[in-house]
Amino acid sequence: MKLVFSETQRRHDPRHFLSSGAPQPNPEVPGRIDRLLAGARAAGLGEVAPDDHGAGPLAAVHTPEYLQFLETIFTRWQRIPDASPEVVPNIHPDRRDFSYPASAVGQAGYHMADTACPISGGTWEAAYWSAQTAVHAARMVAGGEEAVYALSRPPGHHAFADLAGGFCFLNNSAIAAQELRRTHDRVAILDVDLHHGNGTQGIFYGRGDVLTVSIHADPVRFYPFFWGHASERGEGAGLGCNLNLPLPRGSGDEPFLAALDVAIRRIRAFAPGALVVALGLDAFEGDPFGGLTVSTGGFAAIGARCAGIGLPTVIVQEGGYLCDALGDNLTAFLKGFREG
């Protein structure tokens, strides 16, 4: 198995985000990269740098207004007298069926779902190359590789077609799935992050060609709160092509793996030609977010069962935050996948 990664992803380095109304140090830091690289190397993965595949794969998922916003907003924000050093919205619309604002402040509110996606000077470059990493991994799988790991950072699964949120700007897993659609009639996304992949769900909610499945902490009292409930099944052509499997807070290996078995049965019923695993490692019992209690051995079992689906697979890194076991958890998943 190969590892795809670009050093440019380190350039996104925001200092703070707002949590429960209070400024906190941003946990989605470049230091995550070093732990994840060490974990992938310990699993024996060879490294590949991504090519620049251009804006086309990003525009296949995200709107042109949104891509232009991400590329230009930091420079525009700095022109505002007394503006904060990082882009953080202070207004949010109650709907999206109105005229598009011209001001940087209005556009920040329109395109940023929450205060957990601050934009710093290097955010666009890092997010762009995080997405290119996912595109390159998908093209490797389309070209015959059985599985490829995309170390994408910043993560992506909370990003909608025109909306950032939850540390996410470009939806790398959705971009990888859309890329795989070039060679497969149907693609499945299996999200095993602690948090529901609300952006991924939103992007494909009305489509019948991409199945979205997410196992996560119950959002009734947990981020992202408004999405991720079991009643959400898709709409229109996508009805029945979305499956959410929320777990009670504190759930560990046994309930997580039981939910994974349910997810795998749905994936097999969909009969996709390829799979994207949105790999969050923040379901770990020692992760700073503390929502679930999956063990390091549990991640090995998750990897083995994902491999057992038997599909060409792109593994896209999502969450998983700084703790002593972060690299070990990735190693466990990747070894489990290779041996599964």
pLDDT digits (tens, 9 = 90+) for 67-110: 999 999 999 999 999 999 999 999 999 888 889 999 999 999 99
Q: Does domain 2-63+120-339 have CATH number 3.30.2320.30?
A: no
Structure tokens, 329? 């958890």
Average pLDDT of span 227-241: 98
pLDDT at 19: 83
* pLDDT, position 60: 98
Question: Can you give the pLDDT at residue 312?
Answer: 98
The pLDDT of 136-146, averaged and rounded, is: 98
Judged by DSSP in three states, 102 sits in coil
Kindly state the average pLDDT of the residues 116-131. 97
Give the phi and the psi of residue 246 in degrees, each rounded to 5: -70, 140
Average pLDDT over residues 127-138: 98
pLDDT at 18: 81
Residue 340 clears pLDDT 90, i.e. is over it: no
CA end-to-end span of the chain, whole Å?
A: 13
- For residues 50 and 129, is the Cβ–Cβ distance under 8 A? yes
Q: What is the pLDDT of residue 222?
A: 96
Q: What is the pLDDT of residue 287?
A: 96
CA distances from 95 to 81, 103, 109, 227, 233 (A): 28, 18, 11, 16, 22
| pLDDT tens-place string over residues 247-303 | 999 999 999 999 999 999 999 999 999 999 999 999 999 999 999 999 999 999 999
> What is the rounded distance in angstroms from the CA atom of residue 261 to the CA atom of residue 249?
19
Report yes or no: 131 and 170 within 8 Å, Cβ to Cβ.
Answer: yes
The whole-number average pLDDT for the span 55-68 is 98
> In the prediction, which pLDDT does 11 show?
98
pLDDT above 90: residue 218:
yes
pLDDT at 43: 98
DSSP state at residue 179: H
Q: What does the pLDDT read at residue 23? A: 87
pLDDT band per the 50, 70, 90 thresholds, residue 20: confident
When the pLDDT of each residue in the chain is averaged and rounded to a whole number, the result is 97
For residue 260, what are its two tokens? 């994974």
Q: What is the mean pLDDT of residues 136-157?
A: 98
Q: Is the pLDDT of residue 190 over 90?
A: yes
Catalytic positions are 158
Is the CB of residue 200 less than 8 Å from the CB of residue 212? Answer: yes
Angle formed by the axes of helices 296-308 and 253-270, to 10°?
A: 10
- Nearest of 157, 175, 174, 160 to residue 53 by alpha carbon: 175
DSSP secondary structure letters along 184-242? -S-EEEEE-SSS--HHHHHHHTT-SSEEEEEEEE-GGGSTT-SS--TT----GGGTT-E
Question: Per-residue pLDDT for 319 more than 90?
Answer: yes
Whole-angstrom distance, CA of residue 23 vs CA of residue 42: 35
Map residue 180 onto helix, strand or coil. Answer: helix
